[in-house]
């Protein structure tokens, strides 16, 4: 059986060519056993092709009317609003939904949806994302309001329990005397 040590011992030394060394920034010599690479001349990039439009029929029914209304009012491409709206919905759904690709097996796949908008500056990407996220912002506001109400309730309960505890300690101290 050949070992790594056998391979290393059988290796022949490789002589460096003159083109295989260069100067480092501090004046030392950089040497390499790899041959120098020569690049082919740069070729011009092909002209970019246009991005296909998103047909409204592909937008889920529950979103379609709302998103078409938003795009009509704001003169934005449907893709600029549909992508963030669907991604925001996926973020709210999270791990609550799984796909079971095999009927008789318990194997489940939890989808991870992501997306983004790529466009030149000034094409209203931020406003379209904000418009699409308005329902999510409402959910955040509701959750914050619920949290504040729970916090106030918990604080009132804590104060009440501390008062009861103080009363119990006072009664215990009186009973000990």
Instruction: Spell out the domain ranges in the chain.
Output: 56-136
Whether the Cβ atoms of residue 83 and residue 116 lie closer than 8 Å to each other: yes
Do 83 and 117 form a contact (C-beta atoms < 8 A)?
A: yes
Torsion sign, CA atoms 76, 79, 81, 82 = positive
- Alpha-carbon dihedral 63, 64, 67, 69, rounded to 10 degrees: -130
Q: What tokens does 159 get?
A: 């104060």
Residue 132: Cβ within 10 Å count: 25
Global pTM exceeds 0.75? no
Residue 70: Cβ within 10 Å count:
20
Q: Spell out the per-residue pLDDT of the chain, length 177, in tens.
A: 777 777 777 776 655 555 445 556 666 676 666 666 788 888 998 888 888 899 999 999 999 999 999 999 988 899 999 999 999 999 888 888 889 999 899 999 988 888 889 888 999 999 999 999 999 999 999 999 999 999 999 999 999 999 999 999 999 988 887
CA angle 74, 77, 83 (to 5 degrees): 105
Longest dimension (CA), the chain: 100
């Amino acid at each position: 059986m050949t070992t790594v040590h056998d391979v290393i011992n059988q290796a022949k030394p490789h002589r460096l060519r003159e083109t295989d060394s260069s100067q480092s920034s501090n004046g030392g010599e950089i040497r390499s056993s790899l041959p120098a690479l020569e690049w082919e001349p740069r070729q011009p990039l092909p002209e970019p092709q246009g991005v296909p439009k998103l047909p409204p029929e592909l937008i889920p029914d529950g979103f379609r009317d709302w998103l078409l209304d938003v795009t009509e009012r704001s003169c934005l491409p449907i893709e600029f609003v549909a992508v963030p709206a669907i991604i925001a919905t996926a973020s709210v759904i999270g791990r609550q939904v799984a796909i079971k690709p095999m009927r008789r097996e318990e194997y489940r796949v939890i989808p991870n949806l992501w997306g983004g908008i790529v466009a030149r500056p000034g094409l209203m990407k931020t406003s379209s994302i904000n418009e699409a996220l308005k329902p999510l912002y409402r959910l955040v506001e509701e959750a914050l309001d619920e949290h504040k109400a729970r916090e106030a309730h918990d604080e009132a309960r804590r104060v009440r329990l501390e008062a009861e505890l103080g009363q119990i300690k006072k009664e215990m101290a009186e009973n000990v005397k």
